[in-house]
Amino acid sequence: MSIFSLLLVNILVFLMVIFARKKQNFTNYETFIFLGIWIVHLGATLYFHFYILNHGGDSSRYWSLTADQSQAATSWMQHFGFSTFFIQWLNYIPSKLLGLNYFTGNLIYSFLSFVGLGFVFLLVRDYRRKYMDSSHFSLLLFLPLFFPNLHFWTAGVSKEALLFLGLGLYFRGIQKMENGWGYFILGFLLCLMIRPLIAFFLLLPLLYLLLLKLRAKLVWKSSFLVFLAVLFLLILNRLKLMAGMEDISFQNIQDFSHRQFDFLDAFGANTRVDMLELSWPERLWTVIFRPVGLDFWSFDSFIVSMENNLSFIIVVSGLILGIRFLNKLPFELKVASLISLGIFIIHTFVLNNLGLMARMKSIWIPFIQMSAIWLFIMAIGKQRQVQKMKAEGRRDLGL
């Protein structure tokens, strides 16, 4: 079964590549890069599978439907709910009814997250074609799609795999707004069922699209605005319920933060960080970039640290050289980067474990990296253009 599953998922990817070359007009370079991303992703799947088997984790419990049994579910629909309940509901048929093993489950989720990677790849490809020249230098825009942290946490049975598929659908829907509402709605609903907090953030760009971009009659816009307001309040109420807060206040948020830190402390993780002793800028730095430098203690943390070092260089270089192009950043990258920062800020109040931080940021940091690389490439391109104009001017003057 495992060999057959491995063969089948590679056939599906091969068919995806054929479809992309015909329908999306992939060039040879783009096809090669896309296949390279799959090779990295498949390698991460194999590593993820054996890592969970050796060290344990939520992933195997999601597949065996034992991560959260508080619903005492005995049938498929009794498993239905938000977050862990939803992923166990999804897994009920392939795991319990069809009896597929955990390795096959990891391959299924790996393929789903790779579809999400495919949608993000299309975003990047379109940015490169629209805003940049066809030089090899602009291929750097694809670099974040190769980084290991993203692949590891989305390469198997995990919430991150489903979330990245949802995000890929969501941003592809925004990019193709006129005829991409199916992508958009499916992506939003998937994120809503896995993590309502993310859906809360994803609602905000809709106001901009509704008021300024959507071509529709006023009555339709007004109806949609009312629907969004109701959905916003429902999600907010759900978040308050999950956080055990009667109302939103600074004191209640602090109390929830302390309870969350105490809850995580109970697990005794060796990557614990005393967030309460840090200033807020230090907390944000910890969430986004730690471990960094030589701050590692194992092979896995070494890989994460090296990626964070590179990520820091990318972000700083992009902001220093390309800050003047910030207003020209593609809309989807602006939205993704702002939501990512919002999520990171939330994480400063609820996470105190470097391992958990690496997992939770894995699906967001690529958008920050891509935005920084976009700024960097635009700055270098502008500099080259100026140098070329100066050289042509000197030739015209006979110098």
pLDDT (tens digit per residue) in 162-201:
999 999 999 998 888 777 778 888 999 999 999 988 988 8
Closest CA to 42 of 101, 117, 107: 107
Is pLDDT of 323 > 60? yes
DSSP annotation of 217 reads: -
Q: Is 116 exposed, middle or buried (0-12, 13-18, 19+ CB in 10 A)?
A: buried
pLDDT score, position 1: 59
Assign 314 a pLDDT band (cuts: 50, 70, 90): very high
Range list of H helices, the chain: 2-23, 28-55, 58-64, 84-91, 102-131, 148-154, 159-175, 181-194, 196-208, 218-243, 250-265, 280-289, 299-322, 331-350, 354-361, 365-396
pLDDT score, position 208: 72
Q: Which residue has the higher pLDDT, 135 or 36?
A: 36
Q: Are 382 and 292 in contact (CB under 8 A)?
A: no
Is pLDDT of 48 > 90? yes
pLDDT score, position 189: 92
pLDDT score, position 399: 53
Of the chain, the percentage scoring pLDDT greater than 90 comes to 48
Q: pTM of whole model > 0.85?
A: yes
